């Protein structure tokens, strides 16, 4: 009798032990992530009547489609307030636009979050940042400590990515099937809307950029310059794309070259999910559910802007 009880216990114990390693190796995952999106000053005359700051709704939808909620971050808060927001969100998206890299409030506040994220990651508090177009340019400015932009015009141009060999071992493209990698390297799935960028020569001659980021792809501008089109942090979870993955699913101006093929949609879905999954590795949270509710984008209603800008809708603040 006693023998069979002991045996039974041993069986249970050994089954439990066999499940232990996976439990120990499991990284805690936050399945209710919130990504912060920095608002940007309104520079466009046609949009000025609606507010001083805005976020194009395509970026909000992009993050939401990856499985995250969004908190808009205003440009008029104190450093202490930004520190509190930082401890409440799980990642940051720096959007495209036309703000000045050195003198705008957008750049100033991005710098505060960038330094908080550097320190957090150094202390083992995983915090991802994604920069799109201007957002990517800002990341190069923050890392290099100087403005390295030059003319790399690629306005309204869809391009395939010219992958580097480093793309092959990247985190960003790790979950992409070889079919979709082939499509990205052959079909014009990336929408470009920029005048400036960082050329491959400038990048490779800058020790700070070279040691911080891996170049994952390059492209050729209208003037023949080869610019860095995709990059990721070697050790930090910081990512940059000079192109616009959010337009593939959420912008429809028929006068602009937005890629909408099923492969283009797939690429944008995969990247949105990739970045949100990075955010799921961060465990910051709002202390109070009321505070969280008040901070979320659901407190704002996007306005139709399809007749005054290339954005279908925008949030104003």
Ligand X SMILES: *[C@@H]1O[C@H](CO)[C@@H](O)[C@H](O)[C@H]1NC(C)=O
Residues with a catalytic annotation lie at 133, 244
Question: What is the rounded CA–CA span in Å between residue 246 and residue 162?
Answer: 20
Residues between 217 and 236 with contacts to ligand X, criterion CB under 6 A: 218-220, 226
Integer-rounded Cα Rg, in Å, for the chain is 22
Residues between 249 and 278 with contacts to ligand X, criterion CB under 6 A: 255-257
Instruction: Tell which one of 30, 65, 98, 162 touches ligand X (CB under 6 A).
Output: 162
Q: Which of 103, 82, 98 is nearest to 42 (CA)?
A: 98
Nearer CB in complex with ligand X: 15/45: 45
The stretches of the chain forming alpha helices (DSSP H) are 2-25, 57-65, 79-86, 105-122, 134-144, 178-186, 200-204, 207-212, 247-250, 262-279, 289-295
Part in contact with ligand X (CB under 6 A); list of ranges 23-31, 237-245, 274-282, 302-310: 302-310
Nearer CB in complex with ligand X: 23/255: 255
Instruction: Tell which one of 106, 113, 163, 203 touches ligand X (CB under 6 A).
Output: 163
Is residue 242 helix, strand or coil? Answer: coil
DSSP code at position 199: B
Beta bridge partners of 72: 37
For the window 169-188, what string marks contact with ligand X as x by the rule CB under 6 A? ----x----x--x-------
Is residue 232 helix, strand or coil? Answer: strand
For the window 76-105, what string marks contact with ligand X as x by the rule CB under 6 A? --------x--xx-----------------
In the complex, the residues that contact ligand X under the rule CB under 6 A are 84, 87-88, 156, 162-164, 167-168, 173, 178, 181, 218-220, 226, 255-257, 287, 304, 307-308
């Amino acid at each position: 009798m006693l023998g069979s009880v002991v045996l039974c216990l041993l069986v249970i114990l050994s089954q439990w032990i066999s499940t232990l390693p996976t439990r120990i190796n499991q990284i805690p995952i936050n399945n209710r992530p919130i990504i912060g999106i920095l608002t940007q000053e309104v520079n466009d005359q046609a949009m000025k009547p609606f507010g001083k700051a805005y976020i194009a709704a395509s970026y909000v939808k992009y993050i939401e489609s990856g499985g995250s909620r969004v908190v808009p971050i205003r440009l008029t808060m104190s450093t202490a307030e930004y520190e509190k927001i930082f401890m409440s969100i799980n990642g940051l998206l720096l959007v495209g636009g036309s703000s000045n890299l050195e003198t705008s409030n957008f750049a100033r506040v991005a710098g505060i979050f960038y330094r908080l994220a550097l320190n957090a990651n150094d202390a083992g508090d995983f915090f991802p940042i994604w920069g799109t177009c201007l957002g990517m340019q800002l990341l190069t400015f923050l890392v290099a400590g100087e403005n390295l932009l030059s003319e790399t015009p690629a306005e309204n141009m869809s391009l395939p990515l010219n992958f580097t060999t480093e793309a092959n071992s990247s985190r960003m493209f790790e979950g992409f099937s070889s079919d979709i990698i082939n499509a990205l390297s052959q079909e014009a799935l990336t929408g470009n809307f920029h005048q400036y960028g960082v050329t491959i020569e400038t990048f490779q001659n800058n020790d700070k950029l070279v040691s911080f980021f891996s170049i994952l792809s390059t492209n050729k501008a209208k003037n023949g310059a080869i610019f860095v089109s995709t990059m990721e942090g070697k050790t930090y979870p910081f990512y940059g794309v000079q192109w616009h993955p959010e337009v593939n699913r959420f912008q429809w101006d028929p006068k602009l070259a937005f890629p909408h093929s099923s492969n283009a949609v797939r690429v944008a879905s995969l990247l949105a999910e990739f970045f949100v999954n990075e955010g799921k590795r961060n465990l910051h949270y709002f202390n109070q559910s009321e505070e969280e509710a008040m901070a979320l984008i659901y407190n704002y209603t996007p306005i139709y802007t399809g007749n005054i800008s290339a954005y279908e809708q925008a949030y104003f603040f």
